[in-house]
Structure 1
Amino acid sequence: MPSLRTPHDGDRASLSRESKAELLRRARRRGVAGRSGMTKPQLVEALLDRSDQPAGRGSTTDHDVVAAGQGAHPAASRVEAFTRLAEARARGEMVFLPRQLSGAERRSHVRQTIREDHQTRIANADQEAQAKFDKLDGSTYSFFRGTSLLFYRDMAGEDAWMPTVLTLGDVHPENFGVMPSADDVPIFGVNDFDEAYYAPFTWDLKRGAVGFMLAAGEVGGHGPGRQGKIAAAFVRGYVAGMREYARDQDERTGQVRLDNAPPLIAALIEDALQDRSDWLARKYHDEYRRGFRADREHVPVSSRREEFQRALDAYVRTNRIAVPEDRTPGMRVKDVCVRLGQGTASLGLPRYYLMVEGPRADGSDDVLLEFKQARRSALDGLVPPSPYVVDGYAERITHAQGVHLVDGDRFYGAAELDGLSFMVRERAPYRDSIDLADLSKKEWSDYADICGRSLAQSHALSDESGLIDHDAEPEVLAAIGPVDLFVDDVVRFAEEAADRVRTDHAHFRADHALGAFTAIDHVFR
C-alpha cells in the first residue's frame, strides 16, 4: 500500500515500493518535466532530485497562482490534503467528506474552495472573474456549472471499485451540441473537454444527473418528481447506449449527422446551419473584411499578429495538423482579437480568436480558430488512483476530444503562448447547443435520453482511441448490474447533491454580497 507521506532524500527504497501510477501522480504534483515517458526507476530518480523543492504547477487549482502566492504570506491550498483524502477513501478507509458539513462550516468550505479555485483571477483583480461571480450569483444552475471543484471535492475517492473510462468531467445539458467534424460538416456530441479525466464511469453519470435535475427545475420549471424522471431518462439512455455498443461494437462509426440524427437533434443541426460569409460579416468582420471589428465581445489586438502567427506555426508542427489547403492555405493569420464574456467556468481566463485567411482571400471564407487557456482538471487529485494519466493541460483536453468524438474538429490541438497552455479549436458557423427553454415536457426526457446515449458512446471509445487496454463496455455493464437499482442509486445521489448545490448557492450569494470573492486566503502560520 503506497505511503501517504512525501518522500525525502534517503527514501529511495520507499519510492521504489510504490506503483508507477503513484510515482506519476507525485511527479505531476511536483511538475517533473518529461514524466510521461519515464520508466519507474527514472521517476524515482527524478523525484529524489526534486524532493527538497516546493510543489510545482500541478499543485495549484487556478493554474500557477504566481500572483496569488507573492507577498509575505503564501496563498492557501488544500490540494495535497484532498489528494490524500481521495487516496485514503479509495483504499476503503472511512473518512469524513466535506459534503457531511453543515451550517457555518459548510459555508466556510464553499468560500475557501471557490477562492482557491480562482486564486490567480482574484489576485489579479480580473474584471471577468467578478463578472463570473455575478453570473454564478444569479442562477443555481450556473453556480453548479461554474464550481466543478466544489462538486468533486464532495466525491473524493468515490467508486474506486468501478471501471475506469475517459470521463468528460463536466456533464450537463449544455455540454452536448453541434460542432464541426474533420470534414467540415456539423455533427452532434459531447462538446466541452476542459475537465476530461480518466475516472470511474459513474462520475460522469452522477454529475450529469445533477445537471439535468437542476436545469429541469430552474430552466424548464419542472417540479421535483419530474426532475427525477428526467435524470432517470439520462441514466437509462446511457445504459441503453452502452448495451448497444457492447453488442454491435460500432462506436467508431456512430457519428451523429443531419441524415441520421433523432428528430430533436436534426432540428438543432438544421437551425445551426448558416452561410459562412454571412456569419462572418454579421458577427466578426470589420467593414472592409480585413479583420475583427471592435465590440463589447471582441477587442482586436492586431499588433500581436506576428506573435500569434509564430504560435500557430508551432501548433501546426507539434500537433501534426493536416492543414486543409482547400480551406486554410498557408495558415496565414489575418487578425487577432481578445474574446470577452464567454463561458461560465472559464470566465476570466485568456481567450483569443484568430482569423485565418481562406483560399478566396476576400474574407468570405475565413476560418476562425479559438485559443482558450487550458487549466487543471477539477478531477485531478480527487479521482481514485489509476494508471491512466495524460500530462499537460491542453494536451489532456486534446486527447479527450480525439477519443470522445469520431472524426471531430481537425483543428483541435494544444498550443503554448505567454508561457501558458492553450487549447485550440475551430469556431464554426454551426457550432450550437440546445435551447433548454424551448424544450417541451416530453422533449426534456427525449433530450436527456439522447445525451445519455451520446455519453455512452464517448465512454465506449475509451478502449478504441484512449488509453484503456481492454473492452470497457462489458465491464461497465457488469458494474451497473440490475438496471432499476443502478438508476435509483444515481437519481437518489442526484437528489441529495442537487439539494446541496442549492444550499451552497445560498451560502455563496450571502458571501458574494459581503465581498468575499475580492480576496484570497493566505497562510499566516
Structure 2
Amino acid sequence: MSADERAAEGRRLRDKISRTSHGGWSEPKDRRDPIEILVESNEGRVPALIPIRFGRMAASPFAFYRGAAALMAADLATTPVSGLRVQACGDAHLMNFGGFATPERNVIFDVNDLDETLPAPFEWDLKRLAASVVIAAQHLRLPNSDAGRVARDVVREYRERMIDYAGMPALDIWYDKIDLRKYADRAGDPEIVADARRRLAERIEAEERKTVADHLYPKLVSEQGTLPRIKDDPPLIYHPDSREAPGLESGYTEAIALYRESLPEHVRTLFDRFRFVDLAVKVVGVGSVGTMCAVCLFLAGDRDPLFLQVKEAKASVLEPYAGKSRHPNHGQRVISGQHLMQSASDVFLGWTKGMNGRHFYIRQLRDMKMSAIIEDWDAGLLRQYGRMCAHALARAHARSGDPVAVAGYMGSGQTFEDAVGEFATEYGEQNRRDYREFLKAIRSGRIEAVVEA
C-alpha cells in the first residue's frame, strides 16, 4: 500500500471514531471502585512492602497518578479507540522519560520505563502523557489555564513529530534519536530553551563524574569480611532468605544462566568476565514497590564492579484490555518492547525466570540515568519537558506502528490536540477525586500505608 493510500486509510478511520470523540472525560456509571483495582494490582507483591507502595502514592495526587497505571488502563479501555496500534509504553507519564547513556556513551533522551509495554492503541499512551502534564501542573500550583495549554502543546508536538516521521524513510526513523547535548526545541522560547540546556549540561556533567567504581560501589557495598557485600538498609535494601528467594542456596545459578542465554553472543563474552558476588532486594519507584526487585553485584576483579538491576515483570496493566502478550515470559515482553521503542537500549538488557516462577528483566543499575526533578519548574520548563516527552513518544510509536496512518488520522489541524487536551484536563480532576478516595481508604483502615521518614 502506498503512503498516500495509508494516509487515506488513517483519515477514513475518522468516520468510525471521530477525533472529537477523544475529547472530555466523564466517569462511567459502572466504573469499578478505584481502591478495589489498586488492591487487585497488589497480587503477587511482597506483602510487607505493599504499605510502602501506598505510602509513596499518598504523598500527592501526582505520586498517586504514577502508581495508578492499572486504574487508568481500565479507564482508557472505556474511551473511543482509533484502531491504530503501536508498541505502547503502557505507563507513559512524565517521570517515565529521561536521559541515559547508550552503549556508545552518548547521552540520549527517551522513554525509560517500559514495565507495562504491550501493543495497544497509540492514543492510550498519548492520553496518559497529556494527563500527567496536567497533574504535574496542578502539583506545581500553576493556573488551570497553563495546565490546559501545556497539555494541548504536548499533543501538538506529538502530532507534528508524527507528520515528520510519516515523510521519513523507514531506516531514518529507526536511526533517529534525541541527543541531549544537541537538543533544541524548534518551537520553544529561546530563554527557556537556553535555561533547559544549561540545566541539562550540568546534570550530564554531574552524572559523568559518577563512575560505578568510584561512586556507586562505595555507596552500595561494604568490604568488611572476606567478600564484598551489598549494604543492608531495611526495609528498602535487604538480603532475602531462601523462602523469599529460592535460588539463594545455589547462588542463583539457574537464573543467571538463563539470563546469560538471553544476551547477544558478543555481550555474553563481556558478561563472562564477571563473577556473581551478591544480591539484595532493593525497593524502587512508586508503581514497582512490592514487586520483587533486586540489585546484583558482579566483579571482574578488585574494584571492577558491574551492578545489575533485577526487576520483576508481571502481566502488563494493558493486558485485560489490549490482549495477551505473545511472549511466554513477561521479562522477555519488557525487553522486546524496549528494543522496539528505544533508539538505544542498555547493553546488558536481558530476561530470566526465578525458581519461584517469577519473571524478571535485567539491566545495568543507574548507567547515567537522569530523571526529571520538577519541583522548581515553571510553566515554561514544564512545556519544554513535555514537548521532549511527546517527541520521544512519537519516535517510539513510529518505529513499531504506521506513522503515515497515525498522522493521517490526527490531521494537520488542531482538532485532535484540542480533544486530547480536554480529556487530559478532565482526567486530571478524576485523578484528584480518586486520590481523595484513596486517602479516605487509608484513614478508615481499609488499606494500610506507611509514610517513610
TM-score grouping bracket, smaller chain normalisation: 0.7 to 0.9
Whichever residue aligns with residue 372 of structure 1, its letter is: K
SS at match of 1:483: coil
- Residue 255 (str. 1) matches residue 177 (str. 2): yes
Counterpart of 1:450? 388
Counterpart of 1:478? 408
The CA deviation string for residues 193-225 of structure 1, in whole angstroms up to 9 with x for no partner, is 01111111111110101111101211x221211
Q: 2:135 aligns with which of 201, 214, 217?
A: 214
Q: 1:238 aligns with which of 153, 158, 161?
A: 158
Counterpart of 1:373? 312
SS at match of 1:231: helix
Q: 1:487 aligns with which of 417, 420, 441?
A: 417
- d(CA) in 1 for partners of 2:377, 2:106: 25
- d(CA) in 2 for partners of 1:320, 1:419: 24
Counterpart of 2:299? 357
- Residue 399 (str. 1) matches residue 336 (str. 2): yes
Counterpart of 1:205? 126
The CA deviation string for residues 494-523 of structure 1, in whole angstroms up to 9 with x for no partner, is 11111111111111111121121269xxxx
SS at match of 1:368: strand
- d(CA) in 1 for partners of 2:240, 2:265: 25
Identity of aligned residues (%): 25
**Is there any run of 5+ residues in structure 1 with no aligned partner, and where?**
1-88, 91-97, 464-471, 520-525
- Number of residues paired by the alignment? 402
- d(CA) in 2 for partners of 1:305, 1:286: 21
The CA deviation string for residues 253-285 of structure 1, in whole angstroms up to 9 with x for no partner, is 223335433426455433322222222244212
Pairs within 5 Å for 1:170-189: 170-189=91-110
Whether the 8 Å contact between 2:110 and 2:343 is mirrored in structure 1 is no
- Residue 140 (str. 1) matches residue 76 (str. 2): no
Q: Larger deviation: 221-230 or 158-167?
A: 158-167
Whether the 8 Å contact between 1:279 and 1:429 is mirrored in structure 2 is no
SS at match of 1:516: coil
Please state how far the C-alpha of 1:456 moved relative to its aligned partner.
0.6
Counterpart of 2:145? 225
The CA deviation string for residues 323-354 of structure 1, in whole angstroms up to 9 with x for no partner, is 265x64433112111113x1111111111111
Counterpart of 2:51? 130
- d(CA) in 1 for partners of 2:442, 2:26: 21
Please state how far the C-alpha of 1:457 moved relative to its aligned partner.
0.6
- Residue 271 (str. 1) matches residue 214 (str. 2): no
The CA deviation string for residues 6-54 of structure 1, in whole angstroms up to 9 with x for no partner, is xxxxxxxxxxxxxxxxxxxxxxxxxxxxxxxxxxxxxxxxxxxxxxxxx
Q: Evaluate the alpha carbon distance shift between residue 275 and residue 377 of structure 1 in structure 2; reply closer, same or farther with a 3 A threshold.
A: same
Q: Larger deviation: 204-213 or 177-186?
A: 177-186
Pairs within 5 Å for 1:93-172: 100-101=27-28, 109-121=33-45, 126-156=47-77, 158-172=79-93
- d(CA) in 2 for partners of 1:351, 1:229: 38
TM-score calculated relative to the size of structure 2: 0.81
Please state how far the C-alpha of 1:157 moved relative to its aligned partner.
5.3
Higher RCO (CA 8 Å, separation ≥ 6 residues): 2
Counterpart of 1:517? 447
Whether the 8 Å contact between 2:299 and 2:306 is mirrored in structure 1 is yes
Q: Evaluate the alpha carbon distance shift between residue 311 and residue 232 of structure 1 in structure 2; reply closer, same or farther with a 3 A threshold.
A: same
Q: Evaluate the alpha carbon distance shift between residue 174 and residue 305 of structure 1 in structure 2; reply closer, same or farther with a 3 A threshold.
A: farther
Pairs within 5 Å for 1:413-492: 413-417=350-354, 418-463=356-401, 472-492=402-422
Whether the 8 Å contact between 1:111 and 1:516 is mirrored in structure 2 is no
- d(CA) in 1 for partners of 2:249, 2:308: 13
CA RMSD of aligned residues (A): 2.7
- Residue 316 (str. 1) matches residue 260 (str. 2): yes
The CA deviation string for residues 133-176 of structure 1, in whole angstroms up to 9 with x for no partner, is 12222211111111112112122254433311111111111101
Q: 1:499 aligns with which of 420, 429, 436?
A: 429
Whichever residue aligns with residue 286 of structure 1, its letter is: S
- d(CA) in 2 for partners of 1:280, 1:328: 19
Please state how far the C-alpha of 1:295 moved relative to its aligned partner.
2.4
Q: Evaluate the alpha carbon distance shift between residue 232 and residue 394 of structure 1 in structure 2; reply closer, same or farther with a 3 A threshold.
A: same
Q: 2:221 aligns with which of 285, 292, 300?
A: 285
- d(CA) in 2 for partners of 1:287, 1:438: 39
- d(CA) in 2 for partners of 1:438, 1:353: 31
- d(CA) in 2 for partners of 1:268, 1:241: 26
SS at match of 1:437: coil
Whether the 8 Å contact between 1:246 and 1:473 is mirrored in structure 2 is yes
- d(CA) in 1 for partners of 2:416, 2:272: 52
- d(CA) in 2 for partners of 1:204, 1:515: 33
Please state how far the C-alpha of 1:415 moved relative to its aligned partner.
0.6
Please state how far the C-alpha of 1:490 moved relative to its aligned partner.
0.3
Counterpart of 2:290? 348
Whichever residue aligns with residue 348 of structure 2, its letter is: F
- d(CA) in 1 for partners of 2:265, 2:144: 48
SS at match of 2:281: strand
